[in-house]
A and B are shown apart, each in its own frame.
Chain A
Amino acid sequence: MSAPANRRPFDAGRAAYLALNGTLLAFLLVPIVVVLIFALNPTPYISFPPVGVSLRWFEKFFASADFMNALWLSLWVAACVLVLSITIGGACALALARGNLPGRAFLTAFFMSPLMLPAILTGLALFQSYLLAGIGRPTWGLILAHTLVAVPYVLRTTLAVLHNFDRRIEEAAAVLGASPARVFFEITLPLIRPGVFAGGVFAFIVSFDQFPVSLFLVVPKGETLPVVLFNYMKFDLDGAIAAASMVSILLALSVVLVLERLIGLKAYVKL
């Protein structure tokens, strides 16, 4: 008698719960869809509703020397950051997980701290240091600055993999007579590779989309894409920005798919 009576409000609650979460999910995703609409809408200024579909904004983006220089600089910096951060971050993760270092918890928190401290302050501090050292604002200074904020991502994904795999595999190889170098190259390295790669993918995106760290470290005419877009947006809002945004969104989406393939997104969730 009471069971069906209980059931009805339960279902209504469930429906409300799902509707709420659907709305919240839409809040997260709608802005990305809107950008796509404006990237394809041919009107000279951002206006709604869209009147048609055209690729003129993509043409403008890819034909503009300013945008293209910035895009290539961003891609070049991000590629360097990718290589540097997987080398430095991967090595650091191995040392933290396998090195029996004293104060490991403190060191881990220390290497993670660029994620928590205001990135704009990292940029400011480096700007002032470069100023004091009188070295100007070289591209390698920008690359190393990005590497600093990218290393924590590599560290996080690699540590997640290192914590998950069975250490006895390495010990078994050692017992069977493999030298430590051979254990490292034939057992440890292949096992942590997905974690390191996943971190590298994040490092690439973090560098490619980086704004606060770059702000004070780029020179006029040598700005990265996010800085160029930001400066453009202060005066003009047209479809070229939407097209540029679409290019970076597509890059991010392909990265998500690659990540899911590599390690599954779950490993990343451990913040």
Chain B
Amino acid sequence: MRLRALSFGVDRSIVLRHDGRRMAAAVRSRPSPIAWLIAPALLLFVLFFVLPFGVMTAMSFFSSNPVSNPNAVLTTRHYERFIVDSAGIFHDALWSTLRIGLVTTVISLLIGYPLAHWMARMTSRLGHALVLMAVIAPMLTGIVVRTFAWMTILQDKGVINTLLMQWGLTDRPLPLMYNEFGTIVALVHIYVPFMVLTLTGVIGRIDERLEQAARSLGAGRLRAFVEVTLPLSLPGILAGSLLVFALSISAYVTPSLMGGTDVLTLPMLIAQQVGTSFNPGFAGALGVILLLVSLAIVIAYNRILARLSGEQGLA
């Protein structure tokens, strides 16, 4: 192995002098010994990622734990339970998960786009670094902490209600929390940075001169933006939206603290099945359903990103 590595290094440098193109082909064709460095990561991911997701899927088809209970049988009853939904809560949970995800995504886009545009077009290095820090700092603050922050702002005796009552704008505290509204506000705050970072990269790659050309041809600032920059940033909008949607449908902390009894989402249902009902089979089935939704989104996201980097290669 060692010898091969050595000779590989040498003939590559010789080829380099003679024919760069042939070298590139040779380099591409065979894995180098460095490839073995992938082994620990592969081991970790197979044992603690691929295998467990297989176990979760398998468990969703068993009546009970097949290792501890010899009477466990294969069944589709967990899925039937979800589809039949005799108590009328599972479909609602799926629907509100998707609805909260969608609203969070749209608002994150509306908030994230101006910020991303501002950052991408900023000429001052210091300004750029400061805004970037302001965007990343909340991202590095834990979800539990940020949800707590919103609880102190939105609760009945929180910052907003206290101020509104002090100013005489309302007699009773507004119901800002323990409902879908509060959940969405906090989720938007948590996931906006992901939208901003995705969009900044894409908007930054759009040649500013295109917009200037449109303006010199008589288009107003707004029209130049709507007809030039906005359409060109569409892939970024799509990628950022898919990312935020995928993240917000899997949120657990925020809906369970901010939603009160009003909100029940799929991740909350899964935690209930594990924690209080102790039904790992049904939890597995719910997990598979959430996984399928997320996988569809992830695949779409990766395709868009691949197309994006392809375009970048052409430019």
Q: Which chain A residues have a beta carbon within 8 Å of chain B's beta carbons?
A: 10, 13, 17, 20-21, 24-25, 27-32, 34-35, 38, 45-49, 87-89, 91-92, 94-96, 98-102, 105, 107, 109-111, 113-114, 116-122, 124-129, 131-132, 134, 144-145, 147-148, 151, 171, 174-175, 179-180, 183, 205, 208-209, 211-212, 215-216, 226, 229-230, 233-234, 237, 241-242, 244-245, 248-249, 252-253, 255-256, 260, 265-266, 268-271
- Assuming the contacts A129-B52, A212-B252, asked whether A148 and B44 have C-beta atoms less than 8 A apart, the reply is yes
C-alpha spacing A219/B129, complex, angstroms: 41
Q: Hey, which chain B residues are within 8 Å of A121, CB to CB?
A: 53, 56, 250, 270, 287, 290-291, 294
Q: Quick one: which of A128, A151, A175 contacts B41, CB cutoff 8 A? A: A151
Residue of B nearest to A91 (CB): B37
Counting residue pairs across A and B whose Cβ atoms lie within 8 Å, the total is 290
Q: For window 136-189 of chain B, which residues contact chain A by CB distance below 8 Å?
A: 136-138, 140-153, 155, 157-159, 162-163, 189
Q: Cβ of A120 and Cβ of B267 under 8 Å apart?
A: yes
Count how many chain B residues have C-beta atoms less than 8 Å from C-beta atoms of the other chain. 102
Interface pairs A-B: 6 shortest CB-CB: A118-B250, A99-B35, A209-B142, A31-B149, A125-B52, A92-B41
C-alpha spacing A30/B13, complex, angstroms: 57
Q: Quick one: which of A10, A171, A233 contacts B12, CB cutoff 8 A? A: A171
Q: Cβ of A98 and Cβ of B34 under 8 Å apart?
A: yes
Interface string of B254-297 (1 = CB under 8 A from A): 00010000000001001100100000100110010011001101
B306 in contact (CB, < 8 A):
yes
Q: Hey, which chain A residues are within 8 Å of B243, CB to CB?
A: 116, 271
Q: Cβ of A134 and Cβ of B67 under 8 Å apart?
A: yes
Q: Which chain B residues have a beta carbon within 8 Å of chain A's beta carbons?
A: 5-6, 9-10, 12-13, 16, 27-38, 40-41, 44-45, 48-49, 51-53, 55-56, 59, 65-68, 111, 114-115, 118, 129, 131-138, 140-153, 155, 157-159, 162-163, 189, 192-194, 197-198, 200-201, 221-222, 243, 246, 249-250, 252-253, 257, 267, 270-271, 274, 280, 283-284, 287, 290-291, 294-295, 297-298, 301-302, 306
